[in-house]
Amino acid sequence: MSGMEEDRKLERARTIVRRNIGFLTTFFTFVARLVVLAILHNVTYGGYQWWLWVALGWGVGVSIHFLSAFLIAGGDLERRMVQREMERMDDEG
């Protein structure tokens, strides 16, 4: 493998790792803030669990971030799609 190829591979790996770390940071922030909201709510009010709506709304965003980080952009789905396209190119030409 040439040095240039190795550099591209290393940069791609770093991009994927940064994306994954970004998701993990988002996820743990999400969990920590929801725990704080739940505790504050139940200690001070204890009635209607409004913080669950926050969890649902923010959870949708965290789920999309998960799909982007692990399945679509840096995950198996991307690898399979790239492989399929390369095979299609080989068949054409």
pLDDT 10s digits, 1-58:
577 877 877 887 788 788 888 889 999 999 999 999 999 999 998 889 999 999 999 9
Query: Average pLDDT of 46-72?
Result: 89
Which pLDDT score, from 0 to 100, does residue 73 have? 64
Residue pair 20/69 in contact (Cβ under 8 Å)? The answer is yes
Decide: residue 26, CB within 10 A, 0-12 exposed, 13-18 middle, 19+ buried.
middle
* pTM (whole model) above 0.75: no
**Mean of pLDDT values over 69-79:** 68
Contact 43, 49 (CB under 8 A): no
Provide the pLDDT for residue 77.
65
User: Domain map of the chain by residue range?
Assistant: 3-92
Residue 62 exposed, middle or buried by CB count within 10 Å (0-12, 13-18, 19+): middle
How far, in Å, CA of 3 to CA of 36, rounded?
49
Q: Which pLDDT value is given to residue 4?
A: 80
Q: Hunting for tokens 């505790």 — which residue is that? A: 39
- Residue 1 confidence (pLDDT): 58
